Amino acid sequence: MKRIALLLLGVGALVGGVASTAPKSGLADEEIAPIFGIKIPLGYRDWRLISVAHEAGNLNDLRAVLGNDVAVAAYQDGKLPFPDGAIIARLAWSYVPSEENNKVFGRAQSFVAGAPTNVQFMVKDSTKYASTGGWGFAQFKDGKPADEELLKTCFPCHVPVKARDYVFTGYAPTP
């Protein structure tokens, strides 16, 4: 019964969408990303996994792409475009060698997630965000939203994957 209650709380978090900031992070309610008016979705750290990636170069991060229930259902059903209410989250951490793991493997080969760098969101609302392919974009670092100048660059970068509803990341197959 306790489990059910906890899971129902979880459901609330998952369908909460962009309604409010996560209490755990201690963010103020007024932390709203410019242009698209997006807040940090409640409980996004517990969303399901879409895929993983590594960006080398200046970014030098390890990243996970998670989705809310609407987004993951669309991925799993292979449905495009994503329906309104879909939110895709890209979490990133610094790319850190693990000496502990390397010792066990007997060679320098292991890289793990270090400190968080930032989190980005794509929020589907075909009416509200009609001028940017139906997607709103946001980025937060330590709970603070990125500025308007940065967010203006999001949509143009996603145009090359218009055929996949402007989403780069594919769903990683089940091993």
Residues that bind a copy of itself (CB under 8 A): 3-4, 7, 11, 15, 22, 24-25, 45-49, 51-57, 59, 62-64, 66, 69, 72, 91-93, 95, 98, 100-101, 103-105, 107, 109-113, 115-119, 140-141, 157, 160-161, 168-170, 172-175
Nearer to a copy of itself, 97 or 130 (CB): 97
Least distance (Å) between residue 134 CB and a copy of itself: 19
Least distance (Å) between residue 46 CB and a copy of itself: 5
Nearer to a copy of itself, 63 or 124 (CB): 63
Nearer to a copy of itself, 4 or 130 (CB): 4
| Residue 98 half-sphere exposure toward CB, CA atoms < 13 A | 13
DSSP label at residue 126: T
Interatomic CA distance for residues 124 and 112, integer angstroms = 31
How do beta strands 61-67 and 135-141 pair?
unpaired
| Spatial contact of 102 and 108, defined as CB atoms under 8 Å apart | yes
Interatomic CA distance for residues 150 and 33, integer angstroms = 11
| Spatial contact of 41 and 16, defined as CB atoms under 8 Å apart | yes
Least distance (Å) between residue 95 CB and a copy of itself: 7
Least distance (Å) between residue 97 CB and a copy of itself: 10
Nearer to a copy of itself, 78 or 175 (CB): 175
Least distance (Å) between residue 102 CB and a copy of itself: 10
Nearer to a copy of itself, 24 or 130 (CB): 24
Residue 88, classed as helix, strand or coil, is strand
Interatomic CA distance for residues 167 and 175, integer angstroms = 22
Residue 164, classed as helix, strand or coil, is helix
